[in-house]
Structure 1
Amino acid sequence: MDEKMLKKLAPYRVLYAEDEAGVRKNVYELLSLLFKEVYLATDGDEAYTLFVQHKPDLIITDIKMPHLSGIDLAKKIRQNDQKAHIIFITAYTEVDFMLEAIELSLLRYIVKPITEPKLFDALEKFLQAKEKAHLQELAPSWYYDSLQKIITHESDIYELTKKEAKFIELLLQKDSIISYEEIEQKLWESEYMSLNALRLMIKNLRKKLPEGTLKNIQGIGYKL
């Protein structure tokens, strides 16, 4: 694993569920070197409790476990969280389990025995999914990157001010008109927002957006 990948994994937290003590110890030691936090579970019930408590960025779980299988664990998680990143650990003999798992939107599955190349390949998939989740499409080939606070268009990159980034995020979250009152409250906070200051921000932001993306609703506010 290269240094760049190590740095990317370092801020994240992982939940690892495995009932076999030997396998659990070896994989846990490796995950502890890669992730900020590793929450360890010996069965599905314990894993679900830890998931609810900590909301980890990634769940790695064996399929066959006592009390609650990896399949049932993923089903419980999916009831309240459709975006959780889940990797299954499976054996070749567990084909029936994997057929059931298809509906659970898995990130990837690792076939035992667990080797470093297999694990790193799955973790690379996790990083790709996380990076993609930071991008929101504004128009064809135009994206807002919520991690870096930039707008990209093909090879062009537009850096946003703190207020511009907050404004774009408000528009994307609400997906409707943002009123002048909301803009003043969320962007200017305790400061006074003059019309000139608002117009200047909008003017500068329009230069970083595709034409026609940001619309002014006269007397009310703005929308994408």
Structure 2
Amino acid sequence: MQDNIISKLNAFSVLYIEDEDGIRNNIKEILDHLFKETITAKNASDGHIKYVQNKPDLIITDIRMPPGETGIDLIKKIRESDSKTRIIITSAHTDLEYMLKAAELHLVKYIIKPITQEKLMDALEAFVKTHDENKIYTLNENCYFDYSKSIISNKEETHNLTKKENMFLKLLITKNRIITYEEMETQIWDEDSVMTQNAMRLFIKNFRKKLPEKCLKNIQGTGYRLVLGEQ
């Protein structure tokens, strides 16, 4: 898996559901190193509770669990109100009936056990690619910008961005050059408001607090640009 895809996993949270303690603990160790947050559950009912509580970006679940519970039932329940959360299924069986049912539930991947690191990484790469990669940006090795969620996130904290901040940061990244004061006024500020010097100073002051240190550079008399990887 490419390094940039591995780094992007750190912007997401994952819920891993597996009834076998040994497998659950082993896979959790790997996930802990890759994701911003890893939540585990030992059965479908526990998994649903953790899903509701945490709203993870990705769910990895076994199909066959203790009697009366299946991963398929859990996913169907989730899909009644949530079509966006990505889901990967694991199974010790190549059961055609299960696979056909799973195909109807908009899954990222179906992993046949045993779960090797190669199989897991292939599935996680597929997960990252299901997201619009233009919406997840790396600010440095520990910090990520998610345009779709309007957040800047790292291992320690998550900052919610205002509409102006979200638009400005995407503009800085996608243009990869100085964004002039004139561009800020025409593209970031609302038509019904005026970008006074005081308003811009306050906007920049609050915006800097959410960015990695020394990430935003003022080009005197012209505008601003990002300086990534030079913190």
TM-score by length of structure 2 reads: 0.60
Q: Any idea what SS the aligned residue of 1:53 has?
A: helix
The Cα shift of 1:2 comes to 4.5
Residue matched to 2:77? 76
Residue matched to 1:194? none
Q: Which protein is bigger by CA-based radius of gyration? A: 1
Residue matched to 1:62? 62
Residue matched to 1:41? 41
* Conserved? CA contact 1:71–1:101, under 8 Å: yes
* Conserved? CA contact 1:149–1:165, under 8 Å: no
Residue matched to 2:31? 31
Partners of 1:164 and 1:62 in 2: CA distance: 51
The Cα shift of 1:34 comes to 0.9
The Cα shift of 1:19 comes to 0.6
Q: 1:93 to 1:83 in 2, by over 3 A?
A: same
Within-5 A mapping of 1:145-156: 146=147, 149-150=170-171
Q: Any idea what SS the aligned residue of 1:149 has?
A: helix
* Conserved? CA contact 2:94–2:112, under 8 Å: no
The alignment-based identity, stated in percent, is 41
* Conserved? CA contact 2:61–2:71, under 8 Å: yes
Residue matched to 1:119? 120
Residue matched to 1:220? none
Q: Which structure shows the higher helix fraction?
A: 1
Q: Which runs of 5+ in 1 are unaligned?
A: 136-144, 168-178, 192-224
Residue matched to 1:53? 53
Is the aligned partner of 1:99 residue 2:100?
A: yes
Q: Any idea what SS the aligned residue of 1:60 has?
A: strand
Partners of 1:85 and 1:63 in 2: CA distance: 15
Partners of 2:134 and 2:80 in 1: CA distance: 20
Q: Which runs of 5+ in 2 are unaligned?
A: 137-145, 149-168, 200-231
Within-5 A mapping of 1:1-224: 1-66=1-66, 67-132=68-133, 134=135, 146=147, 149-150=170-171, 158=175, 184=193
* Conserved? CA contact 1:19–1:43, under 8 Å: yes
